[in-house]
């Protein structure tokens, strides 16, 4: 990994606004769509996501195993290179490195003779602008964080002020009225403005990096004009499903980021950070619409917090011990698959008991 925080704030800045917008729209559909349809669609989504995530995890595991065998000198057929063969390979590598050093020395002398300037290998020809970019990336970008927090606070404020079917508006706005829908469109418009700003900022930063020959590492996303449109739109769908099905955005965005090629550790950390914004936004919508059961919410919050803490500690221990980042992908895929399995059982039990719940429409309290 590069010398920077695990949480990719550029990724969050461009993807989170539209994810929140999707969650808000999805919450409306959660109020009007039949429960059976929501359950079937959720199980299908989780099954598809689990399949793709586990498929990615097995590929990562195989690549890690192959790399470990190469480091240990084990051939593909399972036999191990002799010590003499390994020493010979090491000597060849040293000779190649030494020849490269001589070539660099010759290039430096040629540059000195032509330009009269001393080229320092320590700087590797790195200009000041590139050094500044690398230095900035070592710290969490406060501008990105402030933009996200400001967007979140405004959305939360408007969502509560407009009220809903089970939550009276402090401003006297009636659910379903013209003012109610205007408030919703203002909220979505605000998110769209933030998204346009984020895209312009990241494209400009991409062009700057390109101009100064910035070297990306494995798992980095190059935020060019295309990526800043395609990935946020996909994340909008992830937020839409999170809001419509009432699940955490991380259960969709974690696998999504792995599919995008993001490093598993970065994916896990960034997804956990994004869940704070997405889930909180969806939760406020559920409170407004009267879909949140308070006693269940408290219990689930405590269990979820403790399970996440223990899971993070255990996962980091296994990763440090066995040097395998694929464990993150396996854990995400496993949780998603387990969720699909349990949701299927729950729906079958509900059908057997003849239990049905009615939402009562957008402005109704439901049952």
Start-to-end Cα distance in the chain: 50
Could you give the residue ranges of the DSSP H alpha helices within the chain?
Answer: 9-32, 35-72, 83-115, 128-136, 142-162, 178-211, 227-245, 250-259, 264-288, 294-322, 326-353
Q: What is the pLDDT of residue 147?
A: 93
Q: What is the pLDDT of residue 195?
A: 92
Give the span between the Cα atoms of 7 and 216, in whole angstroms: 16
Q: Show pLDDT as tens, one digit a residue, over the chain (367 residues).
A: 567 888 899 989 988 898 888 888 887 887 777 777 877 888 888 888 888 888 888 988 898 888 888 777 665 555 555 555 455 555 555 554 454 444 444 444 444 444 444 433 345 556 788 888 888 888 888 999 999 999 988 988 888 888 776 677 888 888 888 898 899 899 999 999 999 999 999 999 999 998 888 888 888 888 988 888 888 888 888 778 777 776 666 677 777 787 788 888 888 788 878 877 777 777 777 777 777 788 888 898 899 889 878 888 888 888 888 888 888 888 888 888 888 888 788 777 876 776 555 555 677 655 5
Q: What is the pLDDT of residue 312?
A: 80
Do 91 and 364 touch, CB atoms closer than 8 A? no
Give the span between the Cα atoms of 113 and 108, in whole angstroms: 9
> Which two structure tokens, joined as six digits, stand for 175?
């659910």
Sign of the alpha-carbon torsion through 159, 255, 3, 229:
negative
DSSP string, 301-345: HHHHHHHHHHHHHHHHHHHHHH--THHHHHHHHHHHHHHHHHHHH
Q: What is the DSSP letter of 173?
A: P
- Which of 191, 179, 204, 97 is closest to 147 using CA atoms? 191
Do 244 and 44 touch, CB atoms closer than 8 A? no
Question: 3-class DSSP state for residue 6?
Answer: coil
The string of pLDDT tens digits covering residues 44-53 is 888 888 888 8
Do 228 and 203 touch, CB atoms closer than 8 A? yes
Q: What is the pLDDT of residue 204?
A: 93
> Which two structure tokens, joined as six digits, stand for 153?
């606070």
Scan for tokens 């010759």, then name that residue: 106
- Which of 140, 142, 141, 149 is closest to 281 using CA atoms? 149
Prediction pTM value: 0.70
> Which two structure tokens, joined as six digits, stand for 62?
């195989």
The string of pLDDT tens digits covering residues 244-300 is 776 666 677 777 787 788 888 888 788 878 877 777 777 777 777 777 788 888 898
């Amino acid at each position: 990994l590069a010398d920077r925080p695990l949480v990719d704030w550029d990724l969050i800045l461009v993807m989170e606004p539209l994810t929140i917008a999707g969650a808000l729209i999805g919450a409306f559909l959660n109020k009007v769509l039949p429960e059976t349809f929501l359950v079937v669609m959720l199980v299908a989504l989780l099954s598809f996501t689990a399949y793709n995530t586990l498929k990615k995890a097995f590929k990562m595991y195989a690549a890690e195993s192959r790399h470990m065998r190469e480091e240990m000198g084990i051939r593909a057929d399972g036999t191990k290179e002799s010590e003499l063969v390994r020493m010979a390979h090491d000597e060849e590598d040293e000779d190649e490195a030494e020849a490269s050093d001589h070539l660099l020395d010759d290039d430096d002398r040629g540059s000195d003779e032509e330009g009269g300037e001393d080229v320092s290998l320590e700087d590797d020809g790195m200009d000041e602008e590139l050094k500044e970019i690398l230095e900035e990336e070592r710290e969490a970008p406060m501008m990105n964080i402030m933009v996200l927090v400001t967007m979140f606070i405004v959305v939360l404020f408007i969502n509560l002020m407009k009220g809903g079917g089970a939550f009276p508006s402090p401003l006297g706005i009636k659910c379903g009225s013209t003012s109610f829908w205007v408030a919703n469109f203002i909220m979505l418009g605000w998110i769209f403005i933030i998204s346009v700003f984020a895209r312009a900022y990241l494209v400009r930063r991409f062009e700057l990096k390109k101009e100064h020959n910035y070297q990306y590492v494995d798992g980095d996303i190059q935020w060019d004009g295309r990526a800043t449109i395609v990935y946020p739109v996909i994340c909008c769908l992830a937020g839409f499903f999170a809001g419509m099905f009432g699940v955490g955005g991380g259960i969709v965005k974690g696998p999504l980021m792995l599919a995008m090629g993001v490093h598993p550790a970065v994916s896990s950390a960034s997804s956990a950070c994004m869940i704070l914004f997405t889930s909180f936004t969806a939760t406020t919508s559920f409170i407004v619409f009267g879909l949140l059961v308070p006693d269940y919410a408290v219990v689930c919050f405590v269990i979820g917090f403790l399970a996440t803490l223990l899971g993070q500690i255990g996962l980091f221990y296994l990763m440090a011990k066995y040097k395998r980042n694929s464990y993150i992908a396996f854990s995400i895929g496993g949780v998603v698959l387990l969720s699909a399995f349990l949701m299927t059982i729950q729906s079958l039990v509900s059908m057997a008991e003849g239990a049905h719940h009615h939402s009562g429409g957008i402005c109704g309290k439901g049952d």
